[in-house]
Amino acid sequence: MAGCCVGLSVTSPPVPAPALVVSGLGYDYPDGTTALRGVDLEVAVGERVAVLGPNGAGKTTLMLQLNGLLRPTSGQVSIGGEVLTDDSVRQIRQQVGMVFQDPDDQLFMPTVFDDVAFGPRNAGLADDQVNQRVALALEQVGMAAVADRPPHHLSLGQRRRVAIATVLSMDPQLLVLDEPSSNLDPSSRREVAEVLLALGRTTVMVTHDLPYAALLCPRSVILSQGRIVADQDTTDLLQNADLLARHRLELPFGFDPATLTA
């Protein structure tokens, strides 16, 4: 039987496409202002990555490119191996869950249930599927008990968690968050962080809250003047005082990233 297996090959399982690939991305606003200058960024499935930078760095512009709300002047965006084009933009928007800084930009229906059900209903899902999606999304953010309440009766932290549920109900491949800790009290800040950590989803978080980035994202990039100027382990990046100072980023008084543990 010697040599019986000669010529046989073992097929390796296919390598999944990255969740996000941004290639040479540039964007000019209609007034001629250049916001992004050749941005390259790749995010693997399951990664949580923070995009850090001062005001005016291009962070929000980059975020709005990821599901086609803005379209690049140059370069391209791919989600799960699918290039964002005029033909694919509708499908990709179902795969990219955008959570904006102000939850009131996303909550406009009479009840929390209706807000979370809005996406699945518009996608044409049957009522039983919609109900299942809503129940699961609200459970994931710890807001099942308020399904029948008007969103405007909730606290800011509660509304932000409901806003996250509105995108979770679409089961996106990629979760994109704009300043998720903004204006939250310490308790609400912790609750939102616990939700995001428990989800285990591929996440891109745009923020200038450096401790929150350290808490939630093992990897961070710095976007400055429309370019990515650093890409590394978050704890290492935050210990580079010269790098932070060059790009107008500051740690809060008393916060020492060297004390962080995995």
Q: How confident is the model at residue 208 (pLDDT cuts 50, 70, 90)?
A: confident
| pTM over cut 0.85 | yes
Domain range for 165: 20-250
- The total domain count for the chain is 1
Q: Does some domain include residue 6?
A: no
Q: Does some domain include residue 9?
A: no
Return the CATH number at 166: 3.40.50.300
Averaged pLDDT for residues 45-66: 94
pLDDT tens-digit map of 216-244? 999 999 999 999 999 999 999 999 999 99
pLDDT surpassing 50 at residue 205? yes
Please name the residues in contact with 90: beta carbons below 8 A apart, sequence gap of 6 or more.
none
Beta bridge partners of 82: 79
Q: Does some domain include residue 14?
A: no
Q: How confident is the model at residue 9 (pLDDT cuts 50, 70, 90)?
A: low
Could you tell me what percent of the chain has a pLDDT over 70? 93
Q: Does some domain include residue 10?
A: no
pLDDT at residue number 133: 97
pLDDT at residue number 244: 95
Cα dihedral sign for 187, 189, 190, 194? positive
| Cα–Cα distances in angstroms (integers) from residue 9 to residues 3, 5, 12, 15, 242, in the given order | 13, 9, 9, 17, 51
Q: Does some domain include residue 4?
A: no
Say which range, 9-13, 59-63, 221-225, 233-237, has the weakest mean pLDDT: 9-13
Q: Does some domain include residue 8?
A: no
Q: Does some domain include residue 111?
A: yes
Largest CA distance in the chain: 76
pLDDT surpassing 60 at residue 8? no
Q: Does some domain include residue 105?
A: yes
Give CA–CA dist 14/67, Å, rounded: 26
pLDDT at residue number 1: 53
Give CA–CA dist 71/140, Å, rounded: 32
pLDDT at residue number 262: 45
pLDDT at residue number 15: 67
